[in-house]
Structure 1
Amino acid sequence: MTPSSSTSHLAPGALPTGSPTLSSAPLRHGAFEDAQALFAGTLFVAMALMLFNQAGLLIGGTAGISFLLHYATGLSFGKLFFVVNLPFYWFAWTRMGREFTLKTFGSVALLSLLTELFPHVMRVDYLHPLFAAVLGGLLLGTGCLFLARHKSSLGGATIVALHAQQRYGLSAGKVQLAIDCSVLLAALWVVPLERVAYSVLAAVVMGVFLWISHRPGRYAGG
């Protein structure tokens, strides 16, 4: 009997007897993996916000609200961002669970700290708004992707976007893009049109990046 005939009776996709089986259970992240991913993701986002602040751009969600308050009042972005996100933790706790909420709280606190620290360790003499929009959008998308894959976020609209993906199967990138563009359009009342246009471009770059890279069911890590 030839090897091909010995397995011809098997159903398509079935493994022959004695073959090793593949585990369908996702591999969970360890504490160190979570810590390094949350730090790296938050650091990427902090760098993006530094670029936006330098170029006078905005972002959507609670970060955008914090930027508007920062521009209007002169108060530090880090403190405003931490306070603005406080009401969203109840939603995260009831809809997304304890682990997600605690990791999100830690990420928001770390981002607030990093944005306070960055002006003392990094400065940019010249930055074109177009470059800031593209690079900042990619940094934001990458940072948020790291956080989402390790069950965390940066609060606000990201919590809503991830909940919509988890509960209804909607693309987190599409939901995030819709929320961000809505906030940015509202900023037309206080920010010059040119800066809003660059800010919308940054939101589109971030949203498309997440749309392509963060699809339901693609990533199995926990």
Structure 2
Amino acid sequence: MNDLQQLIERHQYTGRVGTAFIYSICVSIALNFFWNPGHIYSSGITGAAQLVHTLSTRYLGVDLGIGELLFLLNIPLFILAWIKISHRFTIFTIIAVGMSTVMIRVLHPVTLTTDPIICAIFGGAVNGFGTGLALRYGISTGGLDILGIVIRRATGRKMGTINMTFNAFIIVAAGFVFGWPYAFYSAIGIFVNARVMDMVYTRQQRMQVMIITDRPKTVVDSVQHHIRRGITIVHGAEGAYKHNKKSILFTVISGYEVGELQEAINESDPNSFVSLSNIVRILGNFYEPRL
């Protein structure tokens, strides 16, 4: 059993390293192919690294690499993640940021277009996909992702919303450095980045589940075998068509667990009625798997 558990963990670790590599390619493409040619600033620490790079090149005559700056600016946040989140999460975050540093340097810039709107939209979409994918599989891309996770655990706010709040200074900086039209273009890129990230990273989405079934014990056992969630059972319901006795099950899951819920329902009672609705806010305990 221990050998099997170790094999599963090694497979998961390999998958996370692969995801970190995919993210590093995404952020490199976004930066070198879109943001830099279009004079667009990214969100978070990547945007801060771009800003430091621009100011040091323009006013000090020192060309500090964006990738290297990205890693250096993330060091305090690595420490925060080590203390507040988990050691394993921090190690994979360092791997993801380290790979990004290398890929930004290795992947040579290609100017596909200098149109700022196109660069803002496509750069934000590519980076948002990579960031959301990384978060979905339990690793962080550093920077505001770490702050976002810490704050989300305390407030329940979504990752994209938190990122946009912290990124106001990036937009202002873009206005001062490149002109105010580019501040608006950067705002578009940051917005696209946040929306795509929220679509891909479904772990922070909360959904209320209502299951109407005549096999409540079988369904409960199956759901709890697949998902670690509490379930409330309401007995004594009645179908209006055939007046069959039913039970109603209530639970709350994350968007990341919808597939596992569907698998559990198909195994236990494929004829049951299942309704899912988005939740704005949860008060009380809601279990989140360790990252």
- Scaled to the shorter chain, the TM-score interval is 0.7 to 0.9
2:75 is paired with a residue of what secondary structure?
A: coil
* Partner residue in 2 for 1:103: 92
* Partner residue in 2 for 1:85: 74
* Partner residue in 2 for 1:218: 255
Mapped to 1, the partners of 2:112 and 2:44 lie a distance apart of 28
1:219 is paired with a residue of what secondary structure?
A: helix
Any conservation in 1 of the 2:26–2:126 contact (CA below 8 Å)?
yes
Is 1:72 equivalent to 2:55 in the alignment? yes
* Partner residue in 2 for 1:53: 36
Is 1:41 equivalent to 2:23 in the alignment? yes
* Partner residue in 1 for 2:230: none
Is 1:204 equivalent to 2:191 in the alignment? yes
Superposition TM-score, scaled by structure 2 size: 0.62
Letter in 2 for 1:134: I
Mapped to 2, the partners of 1:210 and 1:124 lie a distance apart of 25
Mapped to 2, the partners of 1:168 and 1:116 lie a distance apart of 37
Is 1:159 equivalent to 2:142 in the alignment? no
Letter in 2 for 1:150: Y
Mapped to 1, the partners of 2:194 and 2:164 lie a distance apart of 5
Structure 1 stretches lacking a partner, 5+ long: 1-26
1:93 deviates by 0.7
Any conservation in 1 of the 2:44–2:166 contact (CA below 8 Å)?
yes
Deviations 1:94-119 (A, max 9, x none): 11111111111111111111111122
Letter in 2 for 1:206: N
Q: Which has the higher contact order (CA 8 A, sep 6+)?
A: 1
Structure 2 stretches lacking a partner, 5+ long: 1-7, 57-62, 205-253, 258-288
1:125 deviates by 5.3
Figure out how many residues of one structure are paired with residues of the other and give that number.
194
Mapped to 1, the partners of 2:103 and 2:95 lie a distance apart of 12
Letter in 1 for 2:88: E
Deviations 1:112-168 (A, max 9, x none): 11111122xx52253311111111111111001111012222211111112223343
Mapped to 2, the partners of 1:111 and 1:103 lie a distance apart of 12
Greater shift, 156-165 or 184-193, is seen at 184-193
1:170 deviates by 1.3
1:189 deviates by 2.8
Mapped to 2, the partners of 1:109 and 1:30 lie a distance apart of 19
Mapped to 2, the partners of 1:207 and 1:137 lie a distance apart of 8
Q: Match for 1:63 among 46, 63, 86?
A: 46
* Percent identity for Structure 1 against Structure 2: 22
1:190 is paired with a residue of what secondary structure?
A: helix
Any conservation in 2 of the 1:164–1:172 contact (CA below 8 Å)?
no
* Partner residue in 2 for 1:14: none
Any conservation in 1 of the 2:20–2:99 contact (CA below 8 Å)?
no
Letter in 1 for 2:42: I
Mapped to 2, the partners of 1:132 and 1:143 lie a distance apart of 16
Letter in 2 for 1:219: Y
Any conservation in 1 of the 2:24–2:100 contact (CA below 8 Å)?
yes
Mapped to 1, the partners of 2:147 and 2:12 lie a distance apart of 26
1:188 deviates by 2.7
